[in-house]
Chain A
Amino acid sequence: MSGIAKRCLVGVARAALAATVAMTGTAWAAGGPPATKLINVVDTRGQSGVGLSIAQIYNESFLQFGLLVVVVMVVQGMVLGFGMDKAMNLLGLDLGKLSHHE
């Protein structure tokens, strides 16, 4: 295996281990009051497009909906994060490492 491939594999293994530690830990680390399950059905009449799809997933399975929420928020966060980063760079500012002046 080449050096680069080995380093990538080690990086992925480290990330997977870190993610496992973080996710098992965050079961207790999330703030806010404990939420009890709601019995709720979304009215899909008159809905279309994305709203209808989301409502159908919500009505079908809360687990699928929960996973959808996480995926959408993470993907949107990353896309917007890198996108806004690029936009800020266009202002011509020096956005490199900061000195931690107090």
Chain B
Amino acid sequence: MDFFNIYLPIAGMQFNVLLLLLIGFTVGVCGGFFGVGGAWIVTPALNIFGFPMPYAIGTDLAHMGGKSIVSTIRHGKFGNVDVKLGFSMIAGTTLGMELGARLVMKLEHLGVADTVIRKMYVVFLAFIGSYVLYDYISHVRETSRAAKAGAPAAKRDTFAQRLHRRFRVWPMVHFKASGVTCSLWLPIAVGFTTGVVASVLGVGGGFIRMPALIYLIGCPTLVAVGTDLFEVMITGAYGAFTYGIKGRVDLIAAVWMLMGAAVGAQMGTVAVKYVRGYSIRLLFATTIFIACASVLMKQLELQVASSIFILSAGILISGVILSLLVRGVMRERSERRAAPELGV
């Protein structure tokens, strides 16, 4: 295994290339599938294998920008990226993050920043995971009830549709890829809110933005994934720059991780083709609960256990996603082979 060790000049240490490829691949699969950056896997994974923490964050952000480019290209070809919506949200996210940073400074001044932020993180993760899981369970119940009755499931207005009807403030904009027409102020407001939360929690915000796009804007799940990755691409590029000019990126480590992430991201992105939107939501809810458990373990001072847990869980989840991809590819191929025989 020493054969695969390389010297990272900026971090000033030897590191196993296979580990970098594995970490990159794992987070690439998850990121391409869920539309998140994956910092909550990468940073603890790098740190637990000896990577100095100041460099783990910057190196992760640097490779995240590149990885998101790979996913966004593929999601774009799938028609899953709503560029207009992405830019509208960035305008709000910008302001939200600035307000979030000022809130954190206020909390620090009051001496309660650590306690409040840690509790908020757990509460938010638990809330998001629970809501997405509740939504999935409701959908499954509704569908099976309709199937037993032999009738199609009743189409009910979603929360997003009710919000769009009540909030009709000029200018009204049609977002083509999402198939949504709403006030421009709505995505700006959603971006602002997610920006505040992400800034206070000190995260990129992908895991907040993706469900916000689904439940508040009304995007289809696949468009929420693709559009979220588009935003992560832009913020990741800026993160790479800001941490680079502060000397906190090990470029060689980022290059190797990105090689693994590129393969993983492509596979994770193509996997969405074979999975229905609600199944993606179920897996997303599971991942959020795992992240919540990992944060709880950290709060109980079980840092090492938390890092091992989150990395193992990440590998397991990417294994599930890859199995969905393989199953889908095999099904598509057998359908294609059967099609000529049927004279189709």
**Chain B minimum-CB-distance residue to A94:** B332
Assembled-state Cα–Cα distance A48/B248 (Å): 21
Q: Tell whether A78 pairs with B202 under 8 Å between CB atoms, given A28-B95, A31-B235.
A: no
**Is the CB–CB distance between B62 and A102 below 8 Å?**
no
- Among A58, A74, A84, A85, the residue within 8 A (CB) of B65 is A74
Main SS class of interface, A: helix
A5 at the interface (CB under 8 A from B): no
CA distance A33 to B252 in the complex (A): 22
The number of chain B residues with a CB under 8 A from chain A is: 84
Within 8 A of A (CB), among B159-174: none
* Chain B 295-340 interface residues, beta-carbon cutoff 8 Å to A: 329, 332-333, 336
Q: Which of A26-72 contact B (CB under 8 A)?
A: 26-38, 40, 42-44, 47, 50-52, 54-55, 58, 62-63, 65-70, 72
Shortest beta-carbon distance from A11 to chain B in Å: 13
* Pick from B101, B139, B237: contact of A70, CB under 8 Å: B237
Number of A-B contacts (CB under 8 A): 237
Query: Are the C-beta atoms of B278 and A42 separated by less than 8 Å?
Result: no
Q: Which of B79, B238, B266, B333 contacts A26 (CB 8 A)?
A: B238
Task: Pick from A23, A28, A67, A81: contact of B262, CB below 8 A.
Answer: A81
A91 at the interface (CB under 8 A from B): yes
Contact of A13 with B by CB under 8 A: no
Q: Report if A65-B90 is in contact (Cβ < 8 Å); known contacts: A77-B66, A85-B77, A93-B270.
A: no
A43 → chain B closest CB, angstroms? 7
Flag the segment in B15-23, B118-126, B215-223, B283-291 that touches A: B215-223
Q: Which residues of B contact A88 (CB under 8 A)?
A: 74, 266, 270
Secondary structure of the B side of the interface? helix
Task: Map CB proximity to A onto B75-89 as digits: 1 under 8 Å, 0 otherwise.
Answer: 001111000000100
> Knowing A22-B87, A62-B245, A82-B73 touch, does A33 contact B94 (C-beta < 8 A)?
no
Total residues of chain A contacting the partner, CB 8 A: 62
With A26-B235, A91-B329 already in contact, the answer to whether A85 and B222 are too (CB < 8 A) is no
Which chain B residues in 108-122 approach chain A with CB under 8 Å? none
- CB of A3 within 8 Å of the partner chain: no
CA of A70 to CA of B242, assembled, Å: 10
What is the 8 Å Cβ interface bit string for chain B, positions 185-214, against chain A (1 contact, 0 not)?
000000000010011001111000000000
Q: Which one, A22, A47, A81, contacts B70 given CB within 8 A?
A: A81
CA distance A58 to B245 in the complex (A): 9
Q: B9 within 8 Å of A by Cβ?
A: yes
CA distance A21 to B223 in the complex (A): 22
Instruction: List residues of B whose CB falls within 8 A of some A CB.
Output: 7, 9-10, 12, 37, 39, 54, 57-58, 61-63, 65-70, 72-74, 77-80, 87, 90-91, 93-95, 97-98, 101, 139, 179, 195, 198-199, 202-205, 220-223, 231, 234-249, 251-252, 254-255, 258-259, 262-263, 265-266, 270, 272-273, 276-278, 329, 332-333, 336
**Interface, chain A (partner B; CB < 8 A):** 18, 21-23, 25-38, 40, 42-44, 47, 50-52, 54-55, 58, 62-63, 65-70, 72-74, 76-78, 80-85, 87-88, 91-98, 100-102
Q: Pick 26 A–B contacts, CB within 8 A, sort by A.
A: A22-B90, A23-B238, A27-B238, A28-B95, A29-B94, A30-B61, A31-B202, A32-B243, A35-B242, A38-B248, A42-B9, A50-B252, A55-B9, A66-B242, A66-B244, A69-B243, A70-B240, A74-B237, A76-B258, A77-B65, A81-B69, A83-B262, A84-B74, A88-B74, A92-B333, A102-B139
